[in-house]
Copies of this chain bind each other. A is one copy, B any other.
Amino acid sequence: MKDFQFKNTTDIRFGSNRIETELHDAVAQFGPNVLLTYGGGSIKRSGLYDSVKKILSDLNIIELAGIEPNPKINSVREGQKLAKENKIDVVLAVGGGSVVDASKVIASSAFYEGDPWDLVLDSTKRFKLDQLPLVDILTLSATGTEMNAGSVISNPETNDKLGTYGPNTPAVSFLDPALTMSVSKWQTAAGSIDIFSHLTEQYFDKEKNNDVSDGMIEGIMRTVIKWAPIAVAEPDNYDARANLMWSSTMALNGIVRLGYQDGWTSHPIEHELSAYYDITHGVGLGIITPRWMKFVLSAETVAKFAKFGRNVWHIQNDNDQVVADIAIQAVYDWVKSLGVPTTLPGVDINDDTNFKVMAESAVKVGQLDSAVYVDMSVNDVVDLYKATMTTDGFE
């Protein structure tokens, strides 16, 4: 087990009906000037927007609307301007991972004189800056951003989609599973696959004998595998929404990665897809992950895949290779069962003209040729993209 340091001060408020009684003080403790950030109209349709405005009616609310999925640097630039102009004390993000991600970078940008894209390109700059406190009300279970310091921001001008980290996790995160009942089947499936992918990225790691993290991850994987299809089929099932919501937080609040080397592969490879084609991140991961598993499965890794098959999928067979093969097929079948496409043509990507440049970027950004579970060259990543064009090997 690798050495580690861990500290996470986010205050989690999990459950229904907490916003009514706890949101005001959670925000007002930081001051009266609030930057309220959100996405499209869904929080207006659901009534959440009106509730929040009413609860905070004695505070000075400045609004930044229109933060899109795969949040763009332009939203951060707008937020930076508003934060400075209005002497903002606290950012309140209401929405999914994209809104919270953008809000974190806005919280840093409020103390930066230059273009926020500088901060995305070089996170070390953010650690030299102060950061506004962030309170969030999460409306989608997926990214884990509600209890970590990371964001992923896109720049359409350069086709970049990059991770960035600041010094602070959110101050207070409200996790009400009932707020996710209105999430579409598509986004529920995509969010669940995103959670599952966060777990595979950490679980398949070069470090050996980290059974605490392995064991916790296996348990959270079983939870997501069990409850995602239920949430898709029964959107109002509270137990399904609650298990997915807490899984999303635990999958990426930094705890289950402790003791690992923590090199990620599928995410950098998927980020290129989202950056070039603006597809739904979780759907892209569902397409990439089973092919990536086939690529990394070898005599060196078969024991870990067999552990995965036995502890996560309850596959009963004494032959490691057999268990590994069944487990990878099970991942593919689970993704498919959630009703999302399993190939790139399924999300309207029909040409391979960008694969080379995407692969080059993925390898560079993700250090895929040196710092991950099984190293990948540019050609390996191109081959992987090509494998996602058909269902060959899985159907």
Number of copies: 2
Smallest CB–CB gap between A13 and chain B, Å? 6
Binds B, one of A238-246, A270-278, A343-351: A238-246
* A5:B9 contact, CB within 8 angstroms: no
- Cα(A314)–Cα(B218), bound, Å: 14
Which B residues are CB-close (under 8 A) to A214?
219
- Other-chain contact of A218, B6, B210, B215 (Cβ < 8 Å): B215
CB distance from A370 to the nearest CB of B (A): 23
CA distance A227 to B227 in the complex (A): 31
Residues 309 to 339 of chain A near chain B (Cβ within 8 Å): 310-311, 314, 316
Q: Contacts A211-B226, A239-B209; is A246 near B219 (CB within 8 Å)?
A: no
Q: A16 an interface residue at 8 Å Cβ cutoff? A: yes
With CB as the reference atom, state the residue of chain B lying closest to A247. B212
Most buried by B among A1, A4, A258: A1
Distance in Å: Cβ of A389 to nearest Cβ of chain B? 35
Instruction: Give the distance in Å from the alpha carbon of A255 to the alpha carbon of B247 in the complex.
Output: 12
Chain A positions 12-33 with a Cβ under 8 Å from a chain B Cβ:
12-16, 18
Q: Quick check: B243 and A1 within 8 Å, CB to CB? A: yes
> Measured between alpha carbons, how far is A247 from B213 in the docked complex, in Å?
9
- How long is the Cα–Cα vector from A265 to B1 in the complex, in angstroms? 33
**Which residues between 197 and 215 of chain A lie within 8 Å of chain B, taking CB atoms?**
209-212, 214-215
Interface centre among A16, A216, A218, A223 (most CB of B within 10 A): A216
A99 within 8 A of B: no
A360 sits at the interface (CB 8 A): no
Q: Is A220 an interface residue (CB 8 A)?
A: yes
On whether A258 and B14 interact (CB within 8 A), knowing A7-B9, A8-B8, A209-B239, the answer reads yes
Q: Which residue of B lies closest to A15 (CB)?
A: B3
What residue of chain B has the Cβ atom nearest to residue A8's Cβ? B8
Chain B residues positioned under 8 Å from A7 (CB to CB): 9-12
Docked complex Cα distance between A223 and B216 (Å): 10
A7-B9, A243-B209 given as contacts; is B216 within 8 A of A250 (CB)? Answer: yes
Q: Decide: A1 and B242 in contact? CB cutoff 8 A.
A: yes
A95 contacts B by Cβ under 8 Å: no
Report yes or no: A215 in contact with B209, Cβ–Cβ below 8 A.
no
Known: A1-B243, A310-B314. 5 other contacts (CB 8 A): A2-B15, A9-B9, A211-B226, A212-B219, A255-B255
A-B contacts, 30 listed (Cβ < 8 Å): A1-B246, A4-B12, A5-B14, A6-B11, A7-B9, A7-B10, A7-B11, A7-B12, A8-B8, A14-B259, A210-B243, A211-B222, A211-B227, A211-B243, A212-B220, A212-B246, A214-B219, A215-B218, A215-B220, A216-B216, A216-B219, A216-B220, A216-B250, A217-B219, A218-B219, A219-B311, A222-B311, A246-B259, A310-B314, A316-B316
Q: Rank and list the top 3 A-B pairs by shortest CB-CB distance, nearest first.
A: A215-B219, A3-B15, A211-B223
